[in-house]
Amino acid sequence: MRTSRRWMTALLPALLAPATAAAVEPLDRFSFSIGTYLTRFDTQLRADGERGRGTEVDLRRDFGLDDETRIAFAGLTWRPFDRHEFGVGYFADSVEADRRLQRDIVFEDKVYEAASTVHARYDLDSIEAYYVWWAFSEDTWALGPRVGLTWYQVDFGLKATLQMDGTPASGELEEHYKGDLPAPTIGAGWRWTPARDWRVSADAGWLSTEVNGIDADIGYGRVGLEWHPRPRFGVLLDYSRFQIDASTRRRDFTGHLRMHNSGLRLGLVFRH
């Protein structure tokens, strides 16, 4: 987060200095973006065990994990040929909290009793890669099919710290899950330059798939606005939403994950 703020502070004078701005085009040959992501996570999780089905839990309601955070993001696009564009993006989030349980929770065959206190931690890394073939590319707009893959690395830990009577809990009630969750989508990308220094962009995708023991419905959407007062620098503001509803049957984890991630991104763009 501090790194993204330093970048934005350093580049802001270059954006505001007077200069003749070149007209922005729908597509860049190369671009790099960095900024702040005001995000909201809505996550439900169920961890089954060998003896039966686990409890469906909400990470905010049941464990007190903050679902609204401000984190840093970075993105890169490259168009080596006129109609072929590749892009990558990354962000990470980490939250933890202590909570007195309001109900019994079964997590991988272990029972965490109501009125006991637990410590929960949730780490999420998101690595996105995509490809767009700009089938239609005109002077002020471009449109084409888009294939994307977001790779989520999920790390969730749950540990009982106090028993119902307030005495310290034994170390036996502790569980930890760490795994990868691939989320592919197929859709379209669109770019439009309605005025000299402005560009509008949108991407959307969806896929229902079963791969590597994961049966999932995945959706993605993003709409953004860019202002480019300088030939090589600009400001971006966009809103994105990603959702995945997945049932897993893998050796390291069997259960269900429902995750919705949405929020606003504000950042700086270097383009060529």
217-270 pLDDT, tens digit per residue, is 999 999 999 999 988 999 999 999 999 998 888 766 788 889 998 999 999 999
| pTM score, whole prediction | 0.84
pLDDT digits (tens, 9 = 90+) for 59-96: 999 999 987 889 999 999 999 999 999 999 999 999 99
Which pLDDT value is given to residue 21?
A: 42
Give the pLDDT confidence of 118-144 residue by residue, as tens digits. Answer: 999 999 999 999 999 999 999 999 999
**Alpha carbon 77 to chain centroid distance?**
17
Among candidate residues 98, 95, 96, the one with its CA nearest the CA of residue 161: 98
Per-residue model confidence as pLDDT tens digits over 193-202: 999 999 999 9
Name which of 52-61, 206-215, 230-239 the model is least confident about.
206-215
In one-letter notation, the amino acid at residue 132 is: V
What pLDDT is recorded for position 4? 45
Task: Find the largest Cα–Cα distance for the chain.
Answer: 70
Give me the pLDDT at residue 9, please: 52
* Residue showing tokens 């049966």: 215
pLDDT at 36 over 50: yes
Task: Specify the pLDDT at position 6.
Answer: 52
State the pLDDT at residue 17.
44
CA distances from 216 to 135, 186, 219 (A): 29, 14, 10
